[in-house]
Amino acid sequence: MAEMSRLVVESTGFGVRGALLAGERLIEVADVDAHGAQIADRLFLGRVSAVDRTLNAAFIDIGLAQPALLAAKDARFAKGVRERAPIAKLVREGERLIVQGVREPVEDKGGRVTTDLRLMGFHLLWRPHGFGPETGPARGAERQALRDRSAHLFPDRCVSLRRHATQVKDDVLRAELARLEERWRQLLAEAEAKRRPGPLSGGDHPLEMLLRELLAPNLKEVAVADPELAARARGLLEGPLAPHGIALVRLDPARSAFEQTGVAEQLEQVLAREIAIPGGGRLIVEPTAALVAIDVDGGNRAPLEVDLAAAQEIARILRVRNLGGTIVVDFVDLPSRNEQARLTQALAKAFRDDPAPVQIHPMTPTGLVEIVRARRGRALDQLLRRPCPSCGGSGRVPSLRAQAEALFGMLARQGPARVRAAPDLARYLETDAATVWASFAGRADLVRDSALAPGEFRAEPLYGG
């Protein structure tokens, strides 16, 4: 039986962050921003800024600093073209399209988008431009049962049921599709009225989007400290999520939800370069531009014993940090094929519940295992950490985003303050975080303080005017 899980929700100022725990152990973190440059799964009104026949793709202005890439294979859905076709036959320069983010920007490369739009509900997913009923590959009796039920309920629609749809009745599913159809009409109207490229809201609050992403069949409670988020959570848990019987836990509003539940401490641990393996040994995790390198240091444990324990922890760390692409793991050498096969089986089992597709390759003679995990959304490392600007070395310190979040949380809980910020943080607040910072107008005075180390801030309560 799967271990009961709970979700801890924290306001970031930019939106919300959710931490999913199995028992007391952190297994996944997700962010949904109402403000900022996040594109994964978000819908945008885009404009074709250039068509590149060589790449067989188009560059789409979505209102952010960098244009996004739309490959020909992803451009055909809005035009109802089933077969692949050259990009020049699918879009033209200046054309307006509704697109959805697939991959986040990386350094100087823009993100990727598609016209194969996916509107997600709590229990089902609908593709408005999909071709016919959803007929993805079935794995196991449960998946086949969901496919059969979807085909029966929505024979002419491109709908797929999520795992927790088994817990609700047919009329709940029909009502949810009706809500998604209404949301689609709102998105079309918003896009029609929008003059410039940019994100489309569709009326969704970040908390609802977060719950849709992290809802699991064994989720039993949602813990929230922020009063406004708690009120929204109650409405969702007592409304569309009522069939699941998920309890709302109110935390102390004067303290961070992550600090009260131990999530903050676990986040510090999983974001570290060196991570302890339960039972002994450690992992050394080194994300680079090309790949993620992980070294398994077994200490005095037997090779197979430490490798099997490391397999569980590696799967958890990659999921929590949302690390994708090529991951190369240097396990402790296993001389026999039987032991290597056991490790491969353990890795497959450890990644079984990972929401991102994962491929595991056999161990090489030198003890290396290559894991390929699909890139989805932003890596937590990129969001919350940055290279140390003071030492210029390989050390990592909290990012300007992380420091801004800490400041926003303090101001929300403690009230007006005079904020002294290092020049780089002050500049970030006035540019990248300007929309959020503006919401604190009248409650915070910002003063640049070059005596502070990069990224640091000091806040002094304001008494009176």
Q: What is the pLDDT of residue 37?
A: 67
DSSP states of 236-250: HHHTTTGGGTPEEEE
H-run or E-run covering 145: helix 140-153
Q: Which of 30, 91, 88, 38 has its CA nearest to residue 63?
A: 38
Q: Which two tokens stand for residue 283?
A: 């992992």
Site of tokens 């519940």: 353
> What's 125's DSSP letter?
E
Q: What is the pLDDT of residue 394?
A: 59
Domain 43-114 class, CATH top level? mainly beta
Task: Report the chain (465 residues): mean pLDDT per 10 consecutive residues.
Answer: 83 95 94 81 94 96 92 94 92 96 80 94 94 59 88 92 89 94 94 93 84 90 96 95 94 95 96 94 91 92 94 97 95 92 95 92 90 89 85 76 94 89 96 91 89 93 63
Q: What is the pLDDT of residue 377?
A: 80
What are the distances in angstroms from CA 198 to CA 43, 68, 108, 169?
9, 12, 19, 37
Q: How many residues does the chain have?
A: 465
- How far is it, in rounded angstroms, from Cα 377 to Cα 209? 14
Q: Residue 385 forms beta bridges with which residues?
A: 398
CATH topology of domain 271-373: Aminopeptidase (3.40.630)
- How far is it, in rounded angstroms, from Cα 456 to Cα 451? 10
- How far is it, in rounded angstroms, from Cα 217 to Cα 163? 7
Q: Which of 377, 379, 381, 397 has its CA nearest to residue 389?
A: 397
- Please state the pTM of the whole predicted model: 0.88
Indicate the CATH number of 1-32+205-269 among 3.30.420.10, 3.40.720.10, 3.40.50.300, 3.40.50.2020. 3.30.420.10
- 300 by Cβ neighbours in 10 Å (0-12 / 13-18 / 19+) ranks as exposed
- How far is it, in rounded angstroms, from Cα 124 to Cα 138? 16
Site of tokens 């607040």: 429
Question: Would you call 344 helix, strand, or coil by DSSP?
Answer: helix
> What's 106's DSSP letter?
B
Q: What is the pLDDT of residue 137?
A: 47
- Map out the domains of the chain as residue ranges: 1-32+205-269, 43-114, 271-373, 399-461
The dihedral sign for the CA sequence 178, 182, 187, 192: positive
Q: What is the pLDDT of residue 1?
A: 42
- How far is it, in rounded angstroms, from Cα 63 to Cα 274? 39
